[in-house]
């Protein structure tokens, strides 16, 4: 079985679109279709259901995903062990993080990585950071930048990068607001102020715990996916929000936001890199991991 065909299969599972997958693999649409068809013929089962509008994995395709990821990972590992012996590490390593992490953390890291390992390509995916751990555990990504949860899964290793406070924010200009959004001073006031909160994840968990400790049932105006969107909504005067300060520091609307002096403070974010412990033996993953380790000393 051609390892390239497995990589093309994984690209299609990620994009679920032949045009996007062929572009990602730098091959023609016909070549991608032919390679997928050869895989299906070799397995004796369809891997995808496709029509003019959509591409979806079949049950057989979903089963084949884990094999393909494992086979590609093992191939890359042995290839790079051989290359590492000659000082020629090359290939690609995938990293998942938020857009904020790209702006605030990755420029210097990528610059140093490119200097040390010019033949390694970093495949960067951005999205909700609360999904980072799941992406790494499922082997969809090699590494992710996340806030460390209270209980880190045993199979993961964590390398700290920075600490970010979790802060309450309000609009700075409140001249057009019917009701000022100032720091509440009592549980009753907290229960009346409109809140814009993350719909899930670590930020929401810590905010909910804070309100429970205050014996307050918050008045939730909106539950939002993505901290950057919370900052935008707060800047429009829609309520008080809770975000990691690192997000606020990199927001284009920072000049329209004020941080509220709220006591007790929320527990800060311990932001760092996660990877499966077993994958730290892979030369490409180890190369990026060690670079972060050097930068954090």
Convert the pLDDT of each residue in 162-195 to its tens digit: 999 999 999 998 877 777 788 898 999 999 999 9
Assigned token pair, 296: 């954090």
From 88, 121, 150, the end of a domain falls on 88
> What would the DSSP string read from start to end of 161-192?
EEEE-EEEEEES--TT-SS------SHHHHHH
Which residue, 88, 112, 143, sits at the end of a domain?
88
Residue 86 has pLDDT above 60, yes or no: no
Q: How far is CA 211 from CA 188, 191, 261, in A?
A: 12, 9, 16
Number of domains in the chain: 3
Q: Kindly state the DSSP code that residue 224 receives in the 8-state scheme.
A: E
- Residue 84's CATH number: 1.10.10.10
Span 232-240, average pLDDT: 92
The last residue of one of the domains, among 88, 103, 123, is 88
Same domain, 141 and 278: yes
User: What mean pLDDT do residues 6-24 have?
Assistant: 89
- Do residues 217 and 184 both lie within one domain? yes
Q: Is the pTM of this model over 0.85?
A: no
pLDDT at 116 over 90: no
Structural domain harbouring 42: 1-88
At 81, is the pLDDT very low, low, confident or very high (cuts 50, 70, 90)? Answer: low
Q: What's the mean pLDDT when you consider all of the chain?
A: 87
Q: How far apart, in whole angstroms, are the C-alpha atoms of residue 20 and residue 24?
A: 6
Euclidean distance between CA atoms 234 and 22, whole angstroms: 40
Confidence of residue 87 (pLDDT cuts 50, 70, 90): low
Same domain for 21 and 80?
Answer: yes
User: Whole-angstrom Cα distance, residue 10 to residue 46?
Assistant: 15
Residues 159 and 286 grouped into a single domain? yes
DSSP for 112-169 reads HHHHH-TTEEEEEEE--GGGHHHHHHTTS-SEEEEEPPSS--TTEEEEEEEEE-EEEE
Residues 46, 101 within the same domain: no
Tens of pLDDT, residue by residue over 121-156, are 888 888 888 889 999 998 888 999 999 998 999 999
Angle, CA of 72, 77 and 275, to the nearest 5°: 90
Residues 159 and 233 in one domain: no
pLDDT per position as a tens digit, 37-79 = 999 999 999 999 988 778 999 999 999 998 898 888 788 777 7
Co-location of 278 and 260 in the same domain: no
pLDDT score for 297: 41
Give the pLDDT score at 190: 93
Residue 67, token pair as written in the block = 């094999």
């Amino acid at each position: 079985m051609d390892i390239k065909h497995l990589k093309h299969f994984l690209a299609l599972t990620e994009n679920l679109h032949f045009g996007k997958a062929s572009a990602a693999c730098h091959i023609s649409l016909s070549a991608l279709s032919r390679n997928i068809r050869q895989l299906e013929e070799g397995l004796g089962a369809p891997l995808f259901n496709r029509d003019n509008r959509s591409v979806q994995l079949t049950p057989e395709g979903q089963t084949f995903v884990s094999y393909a990821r494992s086979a590609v990972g093992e191939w890359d590992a042995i290839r790079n062990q051989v290359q590492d012996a000659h000082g020629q590490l090359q290939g690609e390593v995938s990293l998942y993080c938020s857009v904020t992490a790209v702006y605030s953390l990755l420029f210097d890291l990528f610059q140093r990585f490119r200097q040390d390992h010019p033949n390694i390509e970093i495949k960067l995916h951005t999205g909700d950071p609360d999904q980072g751990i799941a992406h790494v555990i499922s082997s969809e990504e090699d590494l992710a930048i996340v806030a460390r949860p209270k209980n880190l899964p045993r199979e993961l290793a964590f390398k700290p990068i920075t600490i970010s406070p979790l802060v309450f924010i309000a609009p700075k200009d409140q001249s057009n607001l019917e009701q000022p959004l100032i720091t509440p001073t009592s549980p009753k006031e907290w229960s009346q102020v409109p809140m814009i909160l993350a719909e899930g994840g670590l930020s929401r968990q810590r905010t909910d715990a804070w309100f429970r400790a205050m014996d307050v049932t918050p008045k939730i105006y909106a539950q939002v996916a993505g901290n950057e969107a919370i900052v935008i909504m707060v800047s429009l005067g829609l309520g008080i929000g809770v975000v990691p300060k690192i997000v606020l520091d990199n927001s284009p609307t920072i000049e329209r936001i004020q941080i509220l002096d709220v006591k007790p403070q929320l527990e800060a974010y311990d932001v760092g890199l996660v990877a499966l412990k077993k994958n730290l033996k892979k030369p490409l993953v180890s190369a990026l991991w060690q670079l972060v380790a050097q930068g954090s000393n």
